[in-house]
Structure 1
Amino acid sequence: MAEHRRCGRTVVPIASGDGFSLKQVTIRARAESWSEPETPVGHQLMFVRRGVFRARVGGHTLLADPTVAYLGGPAQEQSIAHRVGAEDTCTALVMSESFMVELTEGTPVHPSVPVTGDLAVAHRLLSARARRSADSFELAEMTIRLVGRLLATPAPMQQAARRATTAAAQRTLVDAARELLTGDPSTLGLREIAQRLGCSPYHLSRIFRRQTGMTLTGYRNRIRVHLALDAIEAGKSDLADLAAELGFADHAHLTRTVRGECGHTPQALRRLLAAPN
């Protein structure tokens, strides 16, 4: 596959079809700054496979991690700020204007949408099928189903603070907690996270749920499930060892959590996401 490298960015085409293309994007930042604004050719939906970084999409700033996909249109400038030395890997799904209109029927779409475990499986399965040279008709149907399901996923219920300054401070606190948990979801405890962020565990738990619609436990489990998917897709076979690495109580705890998020057991996911020969 051809690769395009610029400022630590590698773009590898995976597949293309009628009105869409799929690429793997890997970025290793060399400086702590926002990238130069770019405008995508079409509607670009970014799934974070590994890592955490900030993105600006059409004037909206968000923290991107494996639990959130973000979408930008052809008229919306995008820029990103990655952590220096860290490698972030994403799957970029680029869609034409007509493709997107057919899916949304012109309904406005929020720039960030939650990625549940089952949607993470669907996006990884699309990439896996594309790498196995699935025909264009199948890939188009898988893409349409994935994007349709993603855009139909309800946004988490959030309770905004009354004052703009308070709301901004709360978003900063929650984003900092997300970054810590994404970096180390297996060993960090709630009290340690709160201490690092200079607040009480109760305050952090309350604000986190208010801002994201999720408990800290639910978010931590979702991050761990995404990491489990990575390991399973890469061929990890020792599930007891994987459970220990990710901080689960045991193999059974890992299996219950993965099945609850993804709708499949780790063994079933291994068969679905097996690397192409």
Structure 2
Amino acid sequence: MRTVTNLATGDGFSLERVRIRAESETWSPPEVATAYRVVLVRSGAFRARVDDQVLLADPALAYLGGVGQELSIAHRPGIEDICTAVTCSPGLMRELAGDEPPRAAALPVNGRLALAHRLLVSRAGKGADSPELAEMVIGLMGDLFEARNRAHPARARGRAATLARRRALVESVRTLIADDLSASLRDLARRVGWSPYHLSRAFRQVTGMTLTAYRNRIRTMRALEAIEAGHDDLAALAADLGFADHAHLTRTIRGECGLTPVAVRRMLAVPSG
């Protein structure tokens, strides 16, 4: 089942919330894009195929699809995926990404960007006017492209088949982490049949992050979702998400978002400006 809710439409952009609960893991029929679309995942994880490029989208990795490209999605059955789709006109995208914007791209999402994403959706839901939302969209999209340029991992050297195998392995591990935040490096290595050393090295080469840093980023995204939903017992939330304690949760969220959990709650709860 797929539910699409229009959140806002403005000068060169539209904003939608998409909820999908699939019955099978088959690829959806290809859709040819008529505009640029950036998809940010709020919860869940699914595969996106943009032309011949396949990636795993999750709260730490958004993706861009370009005009004229074919897009197909494969969701895991029985798991609800929730994401925000920001559609940009070709003119707006050129202003954001230059005269030749990428046709398809994976966009890393850190805690600050995840918070900006949630603030945008929150302001749209509270009826913010189009100029304010346009400014927020432009800020978020520009920051996403800048983050990609700064943090894009160095391309590993080696044969194409080896690199493809490494990427597939890391996507499998990211899916395992989405299902089990408490799995250790050794647990994950056993599940995918690699040594912990080689898995750790491959993960950093593909994502530009250590496995621990990535896991904490996913924990942060889930904490943001819970805080926005009104969860106020931070000690219990820390335990639920596998943080060592309340202080560990606070340090991690501050490191990812630049704010404490209490400040995040206030920001998401109170309309800005």
Q: TM-score, normalised by structure 1?
A: 0.93
* 1:205 equivalent in structure 2: 200
Task: Provide, for residues 204-240 of structure 1, a one-character-per-residue CA deviation record: whole Å limited to 9, x for no partner.
Answer: 1111111111100010000000000110010100000
Pair 1:111 & 2:138 matched: no
Find the counterpart in structure 2 of residue 5 from structure 1: none
Alignment partner for residue 123 of structure 1, among 101, 114, 117?
117
Determine whether 1:239 maps to 2:239.
no
Could you tell me which amino acid in structure 1 is paired with residue 253 of structure 2? V
Aligned CA distance change for structure 1 residues 59 and 119 (closer, same or farther; 3 Å): same
1:160-175 correspondence runs (5 A): 160-175=156-171
1:158 aligns with 2:145: no
- Cα displacement (A) at 1:121: 0.5
1:169 shift after superposition: 1.3
Aligned partners of 2:93 and 2:101 also within 8 Å: no
Provide the secondary structure at the position in 1 that maps to 2:27.
coil
Residue by residue over 1:83-107, the C-alpha shift from the partner in whole angstroms, topping out at 9 and shown as x without a partner, is 0111101000011111111212213
Between the aligned partners of 2:204 and 2:22, the Cα distance in structure 1 is 31
Alignment-derived partner of residue 229 in structure 1? 224
Partner amino acid for 2:166? Q
- Aligned pair partner of 1:97 in 90, 99, 120: 90
User: In structure 2, what is the Cα distance between the partners aligned to 1:199 and 1:29?
Assistant: 30
The corresponding residue for 2:173 is 177
Cα offset, 1:108, TM superposition: 3.0
Instruction: Give the structure 1 partner of residue 184 of structure 2.
Output: 189
Within-5 A mapping of 1:126-137: 126-137=120-131
1:231-251 per-residue CA deviation (whole Å, 9 max, x = no partner) reads 001010000000000111111
State the Cα RMSD in Å.
1.3
In structure 1, the partner of 2:60 is: 67
What amino acid maps onto 1:177 in structure 2?
V
Question: What secondary structure, in the 3-state scheme, does the structure 2 residue paired with 1:243 have?
Answer: helix
Question: How far does the alpha carbon of each residue in 1:12-58 deviate from its partner, in whole angstroms, 9 at most, with x for none?
Answer: 11111111110000111122210000123311110011111110113
Amino acid of the residue matched to residue 33 of structure 2? P
Shift of 1:275: 8.2
1:196 CA displacement: 0.8
Distance in 2, Cα, partners of 1:104 & 1:166:
31
Equivalent pairs counted in the alignment come to: 268
In 2, the alpha carbon distance for the partners of 1:220 and 1:206 equals 15
1:138 aligns with 2:128: no
Q: Distance in 2 between matches of 1:40 and 1:163?
A: 32
Paired residues for 1:260-275 under 5 Å: 260-274=255-269
Q: Is the 8 A contact 1:51 1:65 kept in 2?
A: yes
Q: 1: distance between equivalents of 2:100 and 2:162? A: 31
For structure 1, the 5+ residue unaligned runs are 1-7
Counterpart contact for 1:113–1:155, Cα < 8 Å:
no
Point out 4+ residue stretches in structure 1 off by more than 3 angstroms. Answer: none
TM-superposed deviation, 1:183: 1.5
Structure 2 CA distance for aligned equivalents of residues 25 and 18 of structure 1:
21
Counterparts of 1:33-48 in structure 2, within 5 Å, are 33-48=26-41
TM-fit CA distance, 1:190: 1.4
- 1:108-167 CA-partner distances (Å, limit 9, x unpaired): 325111001100000110000011111111111111111111111124323424111211
Once the 2 structures are TM-superposed, how far is the Cα of residue 265 of structure 1 from its aligned partner?
Answer: 0.7
